[in-house]
Amino acid sequence: MKSVADIFTIVAVCAGSFFFLAGTVGLLRFPDSLTRLHALTKADNLGLGLVVLGLLPQANGFLGGLKLVAVWLLVQLAGATVAQVIAEALRRRGPPP
């Protein structure tokens, strides 16, 4: 017996997994580092965002939900920073031969 909240969880987590899959395919298939970074950040933002959104109804009370959202925000912050730092290093190195 599934409640509305459970169905919401399944749909949102599946959607999030799809973005992780797409991000991984992009990471493996895209031609150069900058486009690979682009693929990776999608998995971080949307993929994890949807997974967290889906898990919110299952969270252990308000505080548990707050922790989940905090995890998502921290990963966003770290992911965005790492992408910028890597891109900066790539630019400093110059275009590939």
Q: Which residues bind another protein (CB under 8 A)?
A: 74, 77-78, 80-81, 84-85, 88
CB closer to another protein, 5 vs 78: 78
Helix (H, G, I), strand (E, B) or coil at 52: helix
Question: What is the rounded CA–CA span in Å between residue 63 and residue 75?
Answer: 18
| Residue 42 burial (CB count, 10 A) | 14
Nearest distance in Å: CB 67, another protein: 10
What's the gap between Cα 50 and its chain centre? 8
CB closer to another protein, 35 vs 81: 81
Nearest distance in Å: CB 85, another protein: 6
| Residue 2 burial (CB count, 10 A) | 9
CB closer to another protein, 56 vs 83: 83
